[in-house]
Amino acid sequence: MSGGIKRGISLYSFQEELFTGKMSIEDCVAFAASIGANGIELLPEQNMPTFPHLDDRQIDEWKAIMARHGCEMTCYDMFLDTKLRSDRLMTDDEQVASIRRDLDLCRRLGIHNMRILVFVRPDILERLVPYAEEADVHMGVEVHAPWHMEHAWILRTVELADRLGTRHLGLLPDMGIFMKHYPPVWRARFEREGARKDVAQFIVDQHEAKIMAEYTIYEVAVRMKGNPAEVRMAETLRHSPYSNPKRIRDYIPYFHHIQAKFYEMTPDGVDPSLAYDEVIPELIAGGWNGYLSSEYEGNRWVQDVEDVDSCEQVRRQHRMFERLLTQSSHGKAG
Amino acid sequence: MFDKYLIVDGTLRNTGPVDAPDGFAFDAKLGYYRGLGLSMVEELNISIDDEAVDRTAVRFDEGMGPIGLDAMATAYDRRWPFGQAATILVTRPGGFPKGTHTLSLQQKLRVSYLPFPSFNNDRKTVSL
């Protein structure tokens, strides 16, 4: 593997097949191994039906599945139900206890990275740092669109990690922040829901020109008297930033794992939307050596009209990774 | 999310005595990419031919026993696991109406990281 970057897959990618029962967890792991993606990211609340209760036998079975296929568990995606109750939010103590439960499970599974939902408050995470250090788990706050590496909310975690001098708190970038082009599968879905072709093209053109979302939303909703599908499509621009790939290198000390989000891969192995061809060279140049963990999120955009084939989509993304990792490392050497 | 899969095909059946059904039931999945505690399933809105079923007639059972929507709000120790079908029971004397009808299910979920509720909708043409 070039540049020290490793290829992996999040079980999130197979949500369609896992939901419908077409594939089992072990099928997913076997598929990952078959394409050389031996790092498995999991969502216990998706993949473990008895969550949060796991006995040692279940833990052993997870480890055995990985061993059978030559894979390792790379990252634990946590959730936090601050709205568990309808009458009040979780108290700070309850939030800390919930994440501590996850850190314990992470340690029992032998996982060293935890994806922290971006909405979790830095002061809650500060209280958890001693536990994370003890469990040797890196808590990475998910840098998810429309946040980006230098958003003020994200920088609070960076500043906190610096102040504490800890190596167990930082970031976990989601590649959705590098949306250079509007995803064709999004556009197609909105057109099926009633968006007119010329209005959809206008929205795509506005995104391509990187015009601030609010201008486009106003144009579509008010001046063009957009229908509901058109307004919803325009509103997706609020969550579709193309942040600067060159900035990611500065934050390499703060992340060990990447969620390689994507919505669609073309048959010839091109991501028509996210700028992997610009991001991967930066990661290699910066000497980053974690897992690029596939996160296929296209199923929800096409499942109304076609059978979802998550394996084929992930396979194509990994072909792209192999190509970009090879090209970029050659470029670096040259 | 997963809208078209919410009502599980072929699971609609009447409940109670065969000659005098007291309601009907069908299996349903949660429209979310992970499992969720029952207290965060705020509503299970059911309608037949767009006529809403009274919410007090609806009960839910993920395998731990039937529970009404009001009681679900405080069922903090019960979860609806990802991808797993639960049973939705509706009290309705006579059971499901004869002939072909549209059965609709809307799930309103309280997802902590979203500022607004999440809605999932399925509509299926069914008959008994």
Are the CB atoms for A80 and A117 separated by under 8 Å?
Answer: yes
What region, left, alpha or beta, does residue A281 occupy, with left being phi > 0 and alpha being psi -120 to 50 degrees? alpha
- Could you tell me if A233 and A254 lie in one domain? no
Chain B residue numbers with beta carbons less than 8 Å from the beta carbon of A21 are: 83
A316: number of Cβ within 10 Å:
20
Distance between A32 CA and the closest CA of chain B, angstroms:
20
- Could you tell me if A98 and A212 lie in one domain? no
Helix ranges restricted to H, chain B: 69-72
Distance between B13 CA and the closest CA of chain A, angstroms:
21
Give the chain B residue whose CA is nearest to the CA of A24. Answer: B83
Chain A residue numbers with beta carbons less than 8 Å from the beta carbon of B3 are: 304
Query: In whole angstroms, what is the distance from residue B87 CA to residue A262 CA?
Result: 34
Question: Among residues B60, B39, B62, B40, which one has the least CA distance to residue B105?
Answer: B60
Query: Each residue of A158-180: pLDDT tens digit?
Result: 999 999 999 999 999 999 999 99
Q: Do B112 and A51 touch (CB under 8 A)?
A: no
- Could you tell me if A6 and A69 lie in one domain? yes
Query: In whole angstroms, what is the distance from residue B86 CA to residue A49 CA?
Result: 13
- Could you tell me if A71 and A119 lie in one domain? yes
Helix ranges restricted to H, chain A: 15-20, 25-34, 44-47, 56-68, 92-109, 122-135, 152-164, 184-192, 197-208, 213-218, 228-235, 276-285, 299-302, 310-333
Structure confidence at residue A316 (pLDDT): 98
- Could you tell me if A10 and A31 lie in one domain? yes
Query: Each residue of A31-48: pLDDT tens digit?
Result: 999 999 999 999 999 999
Whether pLDDT at A329 is above 80? no
pLDDT tier, A2 (very low <50, low <70, confident <90, very high otherwise): very low
- Could you tell me if A141 and A50 lie in one domain? yes
Q: Over the Cα atoms of chain A, what is R_g? A: 20
Are the CB atoms for A188 and A159 separated by under 8 Å?
Answer: no
Average pLDDT, chain A: 96
Chain B residue numbers with beta carbons less than 8 Å from the beta carbon of A81 are: 37, 40, 112
Q: Do A19 and B29 touch (CB under 8 A)?
A: yes
Query: In whole angstroms, what is the distance from residue A94 CA to residue A96 CA?
Result: 5
Q: Do A51 and B35 touch (CB under 8 A)?
A: yes
Which residue reads 């004869």 in tokens?
A: B98
Query: Each residue of B58-115: pLDDT tens digit?
Result: 999 999 999 999 999 999 999 999 999 999 999 999 999 999 999 999 999 999 999 9
Which residue reads 């007291």 in tokens?
A: B22
Query: Each residue of A119-156: pLDDT tens digit?
Result: 999 999 999 999 999 999 999 999 999 999 999 999 99
Chain A residue numbers with beta carbons less than 8 Å from the beta carbon of B110 are: 83, 86
Question: Among residues B30, B17, B22, B24, which one has the least CA distance to residue B120?
Answer: B30
- What distances in angstroms separate CA A114 from CA A107, A110, A160, A250, one per listed residue? 10, 11, 17, 21
Share of chain A above pLDDT 70, in %: 98
Structure confidence at residue A331 (pLDDT): 63
Domain that holds residue A202: 184-237
Count of structural domains, chain A: 2
- Could you tell me if A12 and A83 lie in one domain? yes
Query: Each residue of B8-27: pLDDT tens digit?
Result: 999 999 999 999 999 999 99
Chain B residue numbers with beta carbons less than 8 Å from the beta carbon of A87 are: none
Are the CB atoms for A19 and A11 separated by under 8 Å?
Answer: no
- Strand-pairing partners, residue A297, are none
Structure confidence at residue A201 (pLDDT): 98
Which residues neighbour B100 within 8 Å (Cβ) at sequence distance 6 or greater? B125, B126, B127
Determine which of A41-55, A133-147, A241-255, A320-334 has the lowest per-residue pLDDT on average: A320-334
Q: Are strands B79-80 and B86-91 parallel, antiparallel or unpaired?
A: unpaired
H/E element, A170:
strand A169-173
Complete domains list, chain B, with CATH:
3-127 (2.60.40)
Q: What is the mean pLDDT of residues B119-127?
A: 97
Are the CB atoms for A41 and A10 separated by under 8 Å?
Answer: yes
Share of chain B above pLDDT 70, in %: 100
What region, left, alpha or beta, does residue B16 occupy, with left being phi > 0 and alpha being psi -120 to 50 degrees? left
Structure confidence at residue B102 (pLDDT): 98
- Could you tell me if A318 and A245 lie in one domain? yes
Structure confidence at residue B85 (pLDDT): 98
Dihedral angle, C-alpha A147, A251, A258, A122, nearest 10 °: -60
Query: Each residue of A273-310: pLDDT tens digit?
Result: 999 999 999 999 999 999 999 999 999 999 999 999 99
Point out the residue among A18, A46, A119 whose CB comes nearest to the CB of B113.
A119
Q: Tell me the HSE value of A239 on the side-chain side, using a 13 A CA sphere.
A: 10
Structure confidence at residue A334 (pLDDT): 38
- Could you tell me if A9 and A54 lie in one domain? yes
Amino acid at A327: Q
pLDDT tier, A328 (very low <50, low <70, confident <90, very high otherwise): confident
Q: Are strands B23-28 and B67-68 parallel, antiparallel or unpaired?
A: unpaired
pLDDT tier, A332 (very low <50, low <70, confident <90, very high otherwise): low
- Could you tell me if A27 and A134 lie in one domain? yes
- Could you tell me if A98 and A230 lie in one domain? no
pLDDT tier, B1 (very low <50, low <70, confident <90, very high otherwise): confident
Distance between B34 CA and the closest CA of chain A, angstroms:
4
pTM of the full predicted structure?
A: 0.96
Q: What is the CATH number of the domain that holds A73?
A: 3.20.20.150
Query: In whole angstroms, what is the distance from residue A280 CA to residue B50 CA?
Result: 51
Whether pLDDT at A333 is above 70? no
Query: In whole angstroms, what is the distance from residue A9 CA to residue A28 CA?
Result: 9
Whether pLDDT at A267 is above 70? yes
Are the CB atoms for A157 and A122 separated by under 8 Å?
Answer: yes
Boundary of a domain, candidates A237, A260, A282: A237
Q: SS in 3 state form for A239-289? A: HCCECCHHHHHHHHHHCCEEEEEECCCCCCCCCCCECHHHHHHHHHHCCCC
Query: Each residue of A190-214: pLDDT tens digit?
Result: 999 999 999 999 999 999 999 999 9
- Could you tell me if A25 and A143 lie in one domain? yes
Q: How would you list the strands of the sheet with A39-42, edge to edge?
A: A169-173, A138-143, A113-116, A72-77, A39-42, A6-10, A291-296, A257-262
Query: In whole angstroms, what is the distance from residue A133 CA to residue B110 CA?
Result: 32
